[in-house]
Chains A and B, each alone.
With several copies, the nearest count.
Chain A
Amino acid sequence: MKLLYFAWVKQKTGTAEEDVTLPPEVTDVTGLIDWLRRRDEGYEAAFEDLKVIRCAVDQEHADLNASIAGAQEVAFFPPVTGG
């Protein structure tokens, strides 16, 4: 599965994009976040406050409790500030 990070989430994880193979028990966004936070302190810092984390599954806005089963691409980013 491809993971993407934007804005300060990218700065904190230190990664723009990566491919990961998830253990079978990780089936939704929340599970994915928990799994990522355990990797290192950069990820831990990025996902410290979930109120300011937004997510897209296959390039569509998704809730943090959305399923990621079969997803190709999951992205994490702050609330958008364009326009």
Chain B
Amino acid sequence: MIRVQTEDFDIGAEVAALSKDRHDIGAVVTFSGTVRDKTGDLLALELEHYPGMTEKELVRIEREAQERWPLEASLIVHRVGRLAPGENIVLVVTASAHRQAAFEAAEFLMDYLKTRAPFWKREETASGGDWVDARDSDDTAAARWTKK
């Protein structure tokens, strides 16, 4: 399941909804990304996205994870709009019978999301606004899944 929303999410509630009444799961991994204030002067993070393509891309990424790992359930939630330091940005949840599958699928989802989902971050400080640059390390992280 995927969702793009302005509202915050609750990790515990999302995991509970995913695993409700199920006895076949065994392992649940969550990743949550939050707004980090690296320099101490961040006022807000603005998240822009490409409505329409974003949802399609997230569905594609989730489907690919489900094809690669034996997942019992998965969830991607990504927020858009203006976020304050410390606020949640993204949540990925993977549930599987086995912990290795849950861990790997969560890392895969994050790596692909970081390099393929059409979101852009703009950092707003007292001195103005700056679009965040893409990082080579994210491309390197994503590339490891195609080397196999």
**Chain A positions near chain B (C-beta within 8 angstroms):** 4, 6-8, 56, 59-61, 75, 77-83
Contacts and interface: CB of A to CB of B under 8 A. Distances in A.
Contacts of A81: 114, 119-121, 131-134
Contact of A82 (B113, B131, B133): B113
Contact of A83 (B48, B56, B117, B131): B117
Interface of B: 33, 47-50, 52-53, 56-57, 78, 89-90, 110, 113-122, 131-134, 138
Given A59-B53, A83-B90, 19 more contacts: A6-B48, A6-B49, A6-B120, A59-B50, A59-B52, A61-B57, A77-B50, A78-B120, A80-B115, A81-B120, A82-B47, A82-B49, A82-B89, A82-B118, A82-B120, A83-B33, A83-B78, A83-B89, A83-B138
A80 B120 contact: yes
A80 B134 contact: yes
The 10 closest A-B pairs by CB, nearest first: A82-B119, A79-B134, A7-B120, A59-B53, A83-B114, A81-B132, A83-B113, A81-B121, A8-B131, A82-B117
Contacts of B122: 7
B74 to A, nearest CB: 15
B56 to A, nearest CB: 6
Contacts of B113: 82-83
